[in-house]
Amino acid sequence: MASTTRARKTAAKVVAEETPAEATAPESRAAEADSAPAAPEAAPLEPPRVDAAPEPPAPSPYVTPTEVIPDEENLADVILDDATGQPPANLDEVFVPLTPFGSTLQCTVRLVERTFLGPHRNPVTRLLQPKGAVVSEGIAARIRERLIAQAARTDNQ
């Protein structure tokens, strides 16, 4: 038992000796902090570094059915009246004015076009204008020009 008591007393002396040193440590740390150069309160005035934008990914040559929008490259060569399966006979009566003085026209026949879409040029028949569709003069003029060009091609053959 005597050895246990002596070990406790020795441990207590060690703790007592360390305590005064720790009490002076914050003062010495504060003195060191005062003598060290202070960091600036504001950021440096240099502009931030801007990296170049990464290259955009290459467009996919494949399209899904929801992305198929006819452009000049994918316009169909054949526009047909869906009821007869033939090109419209009277091109002037395909679009008629909706009102006597309006700028909108109404389609009198259901127009479909036969074309080839996709990377494998799959043949498809798609609706161009439903019967009774109300369209602007610009759209009607574009379709009418295509019908006139189609009629001129078939007359030449």
The model's pTM is 0.49
- Residues of the chain scoring pLDDT < 50: 21-23, 63-69
Residue 25: which domain range? Answer: 1-32
Residues 22 and 94 in one domain: no
pLDDT in tens, 28-60: 555 565 666 676 677 667 777 888 888 888 876
Number of neighbours of residue 150 by Cβ within 10 angstroms: 19
Residues 81 and 24 in one domain: no
Residue 50 falls within a domain, yes or no? no
β-bridge pairing 122-129 and 111-117: antiparallel
β-bridge pairing 78-81 and 134-136: unpaired
Residues 82 and 147 in one domain: yes
Residue 80 falls within a domain, yes or no? yes
Contact 111, 126 (CB under 8 A): no
Report pLDDT for 46: 78
Residues 92 and 146 in one domain: yes
Residues 92 and 151 in one domain: yes
Residue 63 falls within a domain, yes or no? no
Look up residue 15 and give its two tokens.
Answer: 């703790």
Residues 79 and 141 in one domain: yes
Residues 90 and 28 in one domain: no
Residues 80 and 151 in one domain: yes
Number of domains composing the chain = 2
Q: Is 118 exposed, middle or buried (0-12, 13-18, 19+ CB in 10 A)?
A: middle
Report pLDDT for 109: 92
Residues 14 and 81 in one domain: no
